[in-house]
Amino acid sequence: MAPPASPANLRLSRFLVLVLTAVPGLRISPAASSACFVGGRAVGSRAVGRLSGSADGKPLELPLALTAQPPNRLSDAVLDERLRGTRFVSITPQRVLNSPASTGMDYWSLNPYVGCEFGCSYCYARYTHRYVVERAHDAGKLTDAEFADYRGEHGWEAFERRIFVKEQVVGALTADLKHVPLGETIVIGTATDPYQPAERRFRITRTVLQHLTRCEGLSFGIITKSPLIVRDADLLVKLQQRNEVQVHVSLITADARLARTLEMRSPVPAARLRALRKLIEAGVNAGLIVAPVLPGITDDLPHLDALFAAAKAAGARFIHAGALRLYAAVRDRFMPLIAEHFPDLVARYERAYARQAGAPREYARALARRVQRLRKKHGFTKNDGMIDRYRPSRTPTQGELALRGSLP
């Protein structure tokens, strides 16, 4: 059985602000004890109050650091290469948990891979790959020619063609967990899909989950598009015996043809819905995340209604949705696709996202109302944990989008 609703469970939903919001908040958390056990014994020390956000708008520095140990060149650490050219490269991180202070969010995050073979056109996480490649180049691990290859011709291709695999992850995870206080949230898959095809071979995510089952009193969220997560249902059930767990199966459309256009290498919608049902049947607390909702493409009432109905039929315990955030790192990949497949929307997108990454405020509010009415129609409980706590620094003055169809 899934754990009952609780304030901690609602708090866990806040990890979706990474998808739904951009402006970080400022918070000081109280001291608390870390909550992981080794051989039945608690490890770690007291964690003092700490800053968990920054409002200065500066680029975030991710705490991932490449090991200084051999191999000294990334080209010597290639683990595998697909026939289509995707290459998998081993790195040994010194840290694997990104703290709230380093990301500006109110949760810890963990990404077993850097880059994602699914390569969804709208993915906001491409900047994380760029940071790793640039640091490797600065450290002399990539020649200038290799640096160009690891970035891609337009700067975005390598995110889905040069995947970094965080091997030997347990040591770093053990050390990092000592600093995570009781009651905190750890989200797996904020900047990569932890169950992308590489996981079948490398099993980094499963290794992480096996280690996390030693923890108690934490909240865990997992985001994935992949049915492979069903493989780890046993560990997820074990994990939620002493912790809060929410698994978010990501799906933005039930239309297989449209999904192939927007997410070329992602699993088909029917496979994701089957995986959701299997998780529920195994006793895992799981639901659907519809993010991003794409203005003029997937935001009409019939489209969203079909997704909510499919989620309900699969037994989803919850469903969340949020509008597209068009960060600079995404535009070069996403806008050419819009021009090719939805040319009538190009001018609308350019106006609406001209001055900010987020959708215009009135559009976001209208979408939220539509989503809430669909929740009510399909019997999903309202989750106040999804209320946007972060407000835009200024209201967009032009390019307001309108939802497709009439507002419900």
What pLDDT score was predicted for residue 154? 65
Can you tell me the distance from the alpha carbon of 56 to that of 394, in angstroms, rounded to the nearest whole number? 14
Using alpha carbons only, how large is the chain's radius of gyration in Å? 20
HSE-CB of 279 using CA atoms within 13 angstroms: 34
Q: Which helix (H) or strand (E) holds 257?
A: helix 256-262
Residue owning tokens 């493989």: 231
Q: Other CB atoms closer than 10 Å to residue 398's CB: what's the count?
A: 9
Contacts of 68 by beta carbon, 8 Å cutoff, 6+ apart: none
Can you tell me the distance from the alpha carbon of 274 to that of 277, in angstroms, rounded to the nearest whole number? 5
Three-class secondary structure assignment of 301-346: HHHHHHHHHHHHHCCCCCEEEEECCCCHHHHHHHHHHHHHHCHHHH
* Beta strands at 87-91 and 78-81: parallel, antiparallel or unpaired: antiparallel
Instruction: Look up residue 5 and give its two tokens.
Output: 């609703």
Say if CB 278 and CB 230 are below 8 A apart.
Answer: yes
Can you tell me the distance from the alpha carbon of 237 to that of 241, in angstroms, rounded to the nearest whole number? 7
What pLDDT score was predicted for residue 356? 92
Contacts of 358 by beta carbon, 8 Å cutoff, 6+ apart: 21, 22, 323, 325, 364, 392
DSSP symbols for 198-230: HHHHH-HHHHHHHHHTTB-S-EEEEEES-GGGG
Q: How does pLDDT run along the chain (408 residues), one tens digit per residue?
A: 444 545 455 555 554 544 444 333 323 233 344 566 544 434 443 333 222 333 343 332 223 333 233 344 545 566 666 555 688 888 888 999 999 998 888 899 999 999 999 989 999 888 777 777 888 788 888 888 888 877 776 666 788 888 999 999 999 999 999 999 999 999 999 999 999 999 999 999 999 999 999 999 999 999 999 999 999 999 999 999 999 999 999 999 999 999 999 998 999 999 999 999 999 999 999 999 999 999 999 999 999 999 999 999 999 999 999 999 998 888 989 999 999 999 999 999 999 999 999 999 999 999 999 999 999 999 998 654 333 322 232 333 334 455 554 333
Instruction: Look up residue 202 and give its two tokens.
Output: 């490398």
What pLDDT score was predicted for residue 57? 36
Say if CB 113 and CB 90 are below 8 A apart.
Answer: no
Per CATH, is 213-324+360-391 categorized as 3.20.20.70?
yes
What pLDDT score was predicted for residue 84? 57
Instruction: Look up residue 60 and give its two tokens.
Output: 């975030």
Give me the phi and psi of 15, to 5 degrees please: -60, -20
How far apart are the two ends of the chain, measured CA to CA in Å? 35
DSSP 57: -
What pLDDT score was predicted for residue 141? 82
For helices 301-313 and 269-282, the axis angle rounded to 10 degrees is 40
3-state SS assignment for residue 152? coil
Greatest pairwise CA separation for the chain in angstroms: 61
DSSP 181: B
Instruction: Look up residue 392 and give its two tokens.
Output: 């835009």
Burial class (CB in 10 A: 0-12, 13-18, 19+), 54: middle
